[in-house]
Amino acid sequence: MKLNEKLFKALANKTRLEILQWLKDPENEIHVPTCIPISEEIKDYGGVCVSDLVNQSGLAQSTVSSYLNMLVEADLLIAARHGKWTFYRRNEAAIQKLGELIKEEL
C-alpha cells in the first residue's frame, strides 16, 4: 500500500471514521440494530448490515451507502452481499498496513 489520495479522502470525514470505529467492535458500538442481533449478523453473514449503520448514524440511507462505498473503494471495508442485504466489515489487514504506512512515510 502506498500513499493514496482516495484512501485519505475516505478518512477525511467524521462519519466515515465513526463507521470504522463502530465496526471495530460492532457488538458494543452499534446500539440500534435493525436486522437481527449484531452477533448473529457477524456469525452468519460476516459483517453488519447497512440498515444498522444507517440507524446508528442517523443519516439518510443514500448518504451512508455513499460513505460505505467510498470506504470499500479505499479498501478499508469489505462488503458481502447476501440476498438483498449487504453486510460490511473492516479490512483489518489493510488497516494494519495503513498504520505501518503512516508510521514509515509520515
* pLDDT above 60: residue 22: yes
Q: Model's pTM, two decimal places?
A: 0.88
The mean pLDDT value for 36-45 works out to 84
Looking up cell 442485504 gives 85
CB 89: neighbour CB atoms within 10 A?
17
Query: Which cell numbers in the block locate residue 76?
Result: 478499508
Nearest to 42 by CA among 59, 56, 30: 30
CB 35 within 8 A of CB 83: no
- Over the stretch 80-104, which tens digit does the pLDDT of each residue have? 998 888 999 999 999 999 999 888 8
Q: For residue 6, what pLDDT band results from cuts at 50, 70 and 90?
A: confident
Mean pLDDT of 27-56: 87
Residue 23, CB-side half-sphere exposure with 13 Å CA sphere: 28
CA angle 6, 4, 45 (to 5 degrees): 60
> What does the pLDDT read at residue 2?
53
Is residue 35 over pLDDT 90?
no
* % of residues, the chain, pLDDT over 70: 95
The DSSP letter of residue 23 is: H
pLDDT for the residue numbered 1: 47
Extract the runs of DSSP E, i.e. beta strands, from the chain: 48-49, 77-82, 85-90
